[in-house]
Amino acid sequence: MVLGLLVYEAMDVVYHVSKITYNSASFVYNWYYDVNINHLDNKVNHDEEHIKKLEERVAQLEQIISNNKLAIEDIDTSQDLSAPITNTHTNTHTNTHTNTHTNTNNKNQLLLCDSI
């Protein structure tokens, strides 16, 4: 019975000394590196709100895609739409201007761009 009491008290002392050491070390760390717990809580709340907005946006885009019944086979993949097209034309002052723009003639891509 005395041995049980000694073991219990030893475990109690080890627990409380460990807890005091951890809390002291975390306080010194937060003080030295100027970490504010409230700032971290605000950041977590902001991130959660941002995730909710992104989930709503994904749901909205999924609905737009299903409403427009877009499928992968509907998109014309024979053209390389990422390559710029260069048009050269002569002005009335005989100056040559080069206009570079992206080919956006694909109707499906325009629908996707407008819905975003």
Answer yes or no: are the C-beta atoms of 50 and 72 closer than 8 Å.
no
Quote the pLDDT of residue 72. 54
Q: Is the pLDDT of residue 44 over 60?
A: yes
For residue 73, give both structure tokens. 């086979």
Each residue's pLDDT tens digit, 11-26? 999 999 999 999 999 9
Quote the pLDDT of residue 57. 95
pTM equals 0.38
Confidence label for 7 from pLDDT (cuts 50, 70 and 90): very high
Each residue's pLDDT tens digit, 56-108? 999 998 888 887 765 555 555 566 555 555 555 555 544 444 444 444 444 44
Answer yes or no: are the C-beta atoms of 84 and 101 closer than 8 Å.
yes
For residue 78, give both structure tokens. 């024979």
Answer yes or no: are the C-beta atoms of 102 and 80 closer than 8 Å.
no
Q: Is the pLDDT of residue 113 over 80?
A: no
Higher pLDDT, 110 or 18: 18
Quote the pLDDT of residue 99. 45
For residue 88, give both structure tokens. 């050269």
Higher pLDDT, 1 or 97: 1
CA distances from 106 to 13, 65, 112 (A): 73, 16, 10
